[in-house]
Amino acid sequence: MSLVSELPGTVEGLALAPSNADGVLLTDEQSGMQVQVLAGVPITAIRLGAGGVGHVPRLNLRAGLNLICDYLLVAEVSGRTHAILVELKATWDPRAREQVRRSLPLLAYLRTVCEVEREAPFDDGGLETSYLIICENRRLNKQTLRAEPARTVDSEDYRDVRVRTYIGTTVSIEVLTGASPR
């Protein structure tokens, strides 16, 4: 079995994003933002932020270590296991880069919990990990722009990771991973 299928059943209390015929729907209750991730492959979307993984202790607020992203997406695409740390923002916010970067230890924790439970490591050649910020639109100087189609807006090195930014409310898993489906 793969991490995609084992994760929801192994770790109790995970807040999963609702699946539909097209993939999964990611929501941000604070802004009302919704993003449809189109996936023709098995995908698990776990809520990490507010109301998400509740049994992991939060780190020191003063040190800024409590910042984590909204979702972890895990999918099998082209024979590889992809983990995508996703932050949803109604409009671009440079602080979101730090949120996705600081979420990697939660991914490692969840994977390790599954390996301990199954009493064996995953034989998947390792995870392909991506860091992604999805913005509903880009607003400059309080000037509202109409929603744009999902597309890569930016890909930048931020500290020790490469963070990609997309604008739009519908995006395919293939675009997120840079792979094509099996």
Contact in structure between 118 and 6 (CB atoms under 8 Å):
yes
Weakest mean pLDDT among 12-16, 113-117, 162-166:
12-16
Give the three-class secondary structure for 133: strand
pLDDT at 151: 58
In the chain, domain spans: 3-177
Model confidence at 19, pLDDT cuts 50, 70, 90, reads confident
Unique residue bearing structure tokens 């699946």: 19
pLDDT at 59: 53
pLDDT by residue (tens digit) across 26-83? 998 888 899 999 988 888 888 887 666 654 555 555 555 567 889 999 998 888 889 9
Model confidence at 165, pLDDT cuts 50, 70, 90, reads confident
Distances (CA, A) of 177 to 34, 46, 85, 142: 20, 17, 11, 32
